[in-house]
């Protein structure tokens, strides 16, 4: 039983590392997107980013009969559609809001996830609630006060994208368990690309492909890091911990975005960024340590009831 406890701790540690990586890769999407948006419309950028991700995902999506069967799984199909539409709505909304307001809205996601998990009957530990609160406050400090930082339609679209992302996360919890950790995220990305394609074509026609090196660097970086690897890492981690604990790591995205904004775009730094970053890291640590303690206590309780 002690071995089982150690295995559980290792599994949770791997899950948290994957979730942190997902937050990091999603955070990289901001500067990479800035590079791409200089040359293409938001809808075209999302389409090209998902097309790149699908090229990387397709071998995994078609690798086995088990993976191919996911193309007939309602939860996976629905998750893919939600994922693609969420990015479409989010980037259309970004045209009408500042990066500050967008970061603040992303920082609210962990709280939305925790509340949704609680309403759906999932256990949310005290450590998770504490970590969610600290990380959400930290993200709000980094984002600052939105003020008049967005149009009504921009704010509405940004809020709508958060709800669609929340739906994606909830549906993913119902995806079939597969032997390959890459099967579900890969099929999800292929379905998302198929969802985005007709919408982008109807809005703006065929995307331009004669882009400069800088724009393609942003699109390929987004596709491989901020879409393919981020989605795979998130799916791996989120499938192994509760929703509230996983949600805390979404707040790494505005933290990375703010840090890169300072380093790459010369954005000013101040005490809100430093304190916000500390709260995000502290909140994540609280969740990780709380979940580790819960795993160890559960294993110890089982050990105490055994006949060893």
Tell me the pLDDT band of 116, cut-offs 50, 70 and 90.
confident
- Quick count: other Cβ atoms within 10 Å of Cβ 160? 16
Tell me the pLDDT band of 303, cut-offs 50, 70 and 90.
very low
pLDDT digits (tens, 9 = 90+) for 75-91: 999 999 999 999 999 88
Confidence check: pLDDT of 156 > 50 = yes
Mean pLDDT of 4-28: 76
Query: Residue-wise over 261-274: b if at least 16 C-beta within 10 A, else e?
Result: beeeeeeeeeebbe
Confidence check: pLDDT of 137 > 90 = no
Cα distances (Å, whole numbers) of residue 7 to 2, 223, 291, 293, 299? 9, 33, 14, 13, 10
Reading the block at residue 79, the tokens are 């998750």
Please choose, from the candidates 143, 168, 146, 166, the residue with its C-alpha nearest in 3D space to the C-alpha of residue 155.
Answer: 146
Residues 227 and 50: beta-carbon distance below 8 Å: yes
> Tokens 């004669």 appear where?
210
- Residue 205 φ/ψ region, left for φ over 0, alpha for ψ in the -120 to 50 degree band, beta for the rest: left
- Quick count: other Cβ atoms within 10 Å of Cβ 52? 21
Residues 6+ apart with CB under 8 A from 59: none
Reading the block at residue 181, the tokens are 């950790």
pLDDT digits (tens, 9 = 90+) for 60-73: 999 999 999 999 99
Whole-model pTM: value is 0.77
Confidence check: pLDDT of 3 > 80 = no
Q: Which of 9-23, 160-174, 218-232, 270-284 has the lowest mean pLDDT?
A: 270-284
> Tokens 């998302």 appear where?
192
pLDDT digits (tens, 9 = 90+) for 25-61: 988 887 888 788 888 888 999 999 999 999 999 999 9
pLDDT digits (tens, 9 = 90+) for 261-292: 667 666 556 666 667 767 776 776 676 566 55
Reading the block at residue 260, the tokens are 């890169």
pLDDT digits (tens, 9 = 90+) for 183-199: 999 999 999 999 999 99
> Tokens 């996911």 appear where?
70
Cα distances (Å, whole numbers) of residue 284 to 110, 128, 240, 275? 11, 9, 16, 14
Residues 264 and 119: beta-carbon distance below 8 Å: no
For the chain, domain boundaries: 2-304
Report the chain's mean pLDDT, rounded to a whole number.
79
Residues 248 and 110: beta-carbon distance below 8 Å: yes
Mean pLDDT of 209-236: 94
């Amino acid at each position: 039983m002690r071995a089982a406890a150690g295995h559980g701790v290792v599994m949770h540690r791997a899950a948290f590392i994957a979730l942190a990586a997902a937050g990091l890769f999603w955070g990289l999407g901001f500067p990479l997107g800035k590079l791409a948006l200089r040359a293409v419309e938001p809808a075209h950028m999302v389409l090209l980013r998902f097309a790149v991700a699908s090229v990387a995902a397709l071998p995994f999506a078609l690798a086995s009969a088990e993976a191919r069967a996911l193309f007939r799984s309602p939860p996976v199909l629905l998750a893919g559609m939600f994922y693609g539409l969420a990015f479409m709505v989010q980037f259309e909304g970004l045209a009408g809001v500042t990066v500050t307001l967008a970061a603040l809205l992303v920082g609210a996601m962990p709280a939305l996830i925790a509340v949704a998990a609680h309403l759906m009957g999932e256990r949310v530990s005290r450590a998770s609630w504490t970590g969610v609160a600290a990380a959400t406050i930290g993200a709000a400090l980094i984002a600052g006060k939105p003020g008049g930082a967005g149009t009504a339609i921009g704010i509405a679209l940004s809020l709508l994208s958060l709800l669609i992302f929340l739906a994606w996360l909830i549906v993913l919890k119902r995806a079939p368990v597969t032997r390959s950790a890459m099967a579900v995220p890969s099929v999800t990305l292929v379905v998302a690309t198929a969802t985005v394609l007709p919408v982008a074509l109807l809005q703006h026609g065929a995307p331009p492909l004669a882009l400069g090196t800088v724009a393609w660097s942003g699109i390929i970086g987004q596709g491989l890091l901020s879409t393919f690897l981020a989605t795979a890492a998130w799916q791996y981690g989120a499938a192994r911990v509760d929703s509230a604990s996983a949600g805390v790591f979404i707040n790494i995205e505005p933290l990375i975005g703010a840090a890169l904004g300072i380093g790459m775009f010369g954005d000013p730094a101040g005490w809100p960024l430093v304190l916000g970053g500390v709260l995000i890291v502290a909140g994540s640590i609280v969740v990780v340590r709380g979940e580790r303690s819960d795993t160890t206590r559960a294993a110890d309780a089982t050990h105490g009831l055994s006949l060893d």
